[in-house]
Amino acid sequence: MNSSLQKITFLLVLSSILACKKQEEQKIDFREIVISQMDSIQGNVAVAFINLSDPSDTLFINADEEFHAASTMKVPVMIELYKQEEEGKLNLDDSLLLVNEFKSIVDGSPYSMDIGDDSDDVIYSKIGTTVAIKDLIYSMITVSSNLATNVLIELVDAKNVTATMRSLGAEKIEVLRGVEDQKAYDLGLSNSTTAKDLLIIMQAIAENKAGTEADCEEMVGILKDQKFNEIIPFYLPEEVSVAHKTGSITGVHHDAGIVYLPDGKTYVLVLLSKNLEDFEKGTEQLAGISKTIYAHMQEK
């Protein structure tokens, strides 16, 4: 090998090494920034992120820690509904009689939903009438209707929902029951999840693995109509599209979403929190983490 060729080879190798080193430094800096933001939140936080345009670009912090699922469990319910339609067990265009009486998983005793505890008050005026299953799904996701959720969970069975999540690779998420089952709650029987599992579920929808391509496209369309946008989309530009589902109870605020950038890049981000001492401040800080993830994607 002549000296000129040796020099060129050396420079190419050196350039490659420096590029790899720079990428590694950026990855460390990115992780440290997010950890610093998490540490500033008075409460427990988990983050799961994957760049679908470059699956080697990930971030998992406390991603296997269990959290009360709150309303994020409504996404698995939606997936199960589309799955059962594909299996011929139901038709999403059919209508159901809307009732407000459900059975506790503890002893089968009846309980009802309280309009004052629900984020969707419109649907209560429809009790006693028939409502299309697709309309119930839309309300369950976009305005997080608890009444619609309970009707749909009784239709598909919570055990089937969890089983389908296992088939997608989500190993820890548990959908045990509907909302406001106080007897179950008192016994610690609550729906739970991890950030990693929610990421797996949202990624499955984004990559058309949670159902047929048409069904996944419909699910993304519904998730994009989400009305609660205080976390993942909050600091993002208007041209960024987010298909996501939030969840909140006392001291808990979650968001799990698929983020579509104008340049065609896509990523999945899950932010979970619990034991928040200041709910509003914690929510704004979670939105700040989403902003950091977006900035990271801009550098790719």
In three-state secondary structure terms, 2 is coil
pLDDT confidence band for 280 (50 / 70 / 90): very high
- List the beta bridge partners of residue 243: 258
Q: Does residue 23 surpass a pLDDT of 60?
A: no
- Give, in order, the Cα–Cα distances in Å from 231 to each of 152, 175, 257, 258, 271: 26, 23, 10, 13, 8
Element holding 91 (H helix, E strand) = none
Task: Tell me the HSE value of 134 on the side-chain side, using a 13 A CA sphere.
Answer: 10
Q: Is the separation of the CB atoms in 57 and 50 below 8 Å?
A: yes
What's residue 19's pLDDT? 47
Class level of CATH domain 41-298: alpha beta
What is the pTM for the complete model shown? Answer: 0.90
Strands (E), 151-240: 192-193
Q: What is the pLDDT of residues 144-187, one digit of tens each?
A: 999 999 999 999 999 999 999 999 999 999 999 999 888 998 99
8 A C-beta contact, residue 182 and residue 57: no
CA-to-CA distance for 270 and 288, rounded, in angstroms? 13
Q: Which two tokens stand for residue 109?
A: 């005793």
Q: Give yes or no for residue 120 having a pLDDT over 90.
A: no
The answer on pLDDT for 115 being more than 60 is yes
Question: Alpha-carbon distance 192 to 159, whole Å?
Answer: 13
Any idea where the domains of the chain sit in the sequence?
A: 41-298
| Residue 53 and residue 300 in contact, taking contact as beta carbons nearer than 8 Å | yes
Residue 29 half-sphere exposure toward CB, CA atoms < 13 A: 10
